[in-house]
Amino acid sequence: MKAFILAAGSTSMDGIQQVEKEKPTAGPGEILVRMHAASLNFRDLGIIAGKYFGGPVAKDTVLLSDGAGEVEAVGEGVTRFKVGDRVAGTFFQDLVDGPANPMVNPALGHSAEGVLAQYMAIKEDNAVKIPQNLNYHEASCLPCAALTAWHAMMEAGKPVTKGDTVLLLGTGGVSIIGLQFARAAGARTIITSSSDEKLAKAKELGADLLINYKKHPDWDEEVKKLTDGKGVDCVVEVGGIGTINKSMNCLGLGGKIGMIGVLAGVDGECNPRNLMMTGSSIHGIFVGNRRMFEEMNKAIEVNDIHPVVDKVFDFDDTIEAIKYFKSQAHLGKVVINID
């Protein structure tokens, strides 16, 4: 079978190779999945650069964590799936419920083999059925980006509900699916970007209020103006230390921040004083567990939510897909078709 791997010790895209690997088989308790699509996350760029947790990959590793496919065979003792089921693997392995421990729960595409291959064998406990309303391209967007947004908004602290105001930073995969979850919950949304074109697209997707943070560098004050000084109930915080102080300034009474990413860097200072003044909270979000994934998928089906796919690349054009993703020209998700 064909697969894209990152060579051991790699610190750049030069380490990405398309290789021929032996097709796996489904052992006891495993399912063999014919992969149809995979999608990219910001995390993947860090892994390729050798800057993800733990540094460069220690061995040749199949890339990417997010993918979807069809069960082609089941191993002895499998009860959760049958041939023909449409499935996605869980980001963290062996994590049905509770918080992740990266020392115990390997993650796809880094400490565990990823999904960018024609086939993968995976334990049945490390997979979920994908929503019936989604195609494989859409479903490949769920394991990391979508579940991260769901965890931040619906699992950590008080769930987002009708009448709440949600602030979403940027227009990447996490923020755009977060926008869709917020709309389904009946919440008002504020979204930021440096691009008026992307903000216009976000408006088409249902964003209520828009902020260009290049035109409004003090975008936290703009949030306060747009909410008549009340602030927001939830911030989906993908920037990290570079934006966290402004995000805290955006919080209303009893609000929460889902601390997710490091897009704005890892160096700086954080002053949590505003949390005390507003009775607010910050929740560290590291994707999520299988139970959350299954709950999210129910909500996606009930509300007929379809992840936003910006562009689809052919499998052989994986390098071009990664370059396009790295350029940040996309809105939503970038998908690789494996068929």
Whether 55 and 135 share a structural domain: yes
Whether 34 and 136 share a structural domain: yes
SS3 334: strand
Q: How many domains does the chain have?
A: 2
- Tell me which residue range forms the domain holding 116: 2-145+288-337
Whether 213 and 139 share a structural domain: no
Q: How far apart are CA 332 and CA 311, in angstroms?
A: 9
Residue 24 is which amino acid? Answer: P
Whether 140 and 227 share a structural domain: no
280, 305 Cβ separation under 8 angstroms = no
Last-in-domain residue among 266, 284, 302: 284
226, 212 Cβ separation under 8 angstroms = no
Q: How far apart are CA 73 and CA 22, in angstroms?
A: 16
Q: How far apart are CA 241 and CA 109, in angstroms?
A: 25
Question: Tens-of-pLDDT digits for all 339 residues of the chain?
Answer: 999 999 999 999 999 999 999 999 999 999 999 999 999 999 999 999 999 988 999 999 999 999 999 999 999 999 999 999 999 999 999 999 999 998 899 999 999 999 999 999 999 999 999 999 999 999 999 999 999 999 999 999 999 999 999 999 999 999 999 999 999 999 999 999 999 999 999 999 999 999 999 999 999 999 999 999 999 999 999 988 889 999 999 999 999 999 997 654 456 677 777 788 899 999 999 999 999 999 999 999 999 999 999 999 999 999 999 999 999 999 999 999 998
Sheet of strand 61-62: strand arrangement = 16-20, 2-6, 61-62
Whether 279 and 297 share a structural domain: no
Q: Is residue 150 part of a domain?
A: no
Whether 182 and 262 share a structural domain: yes
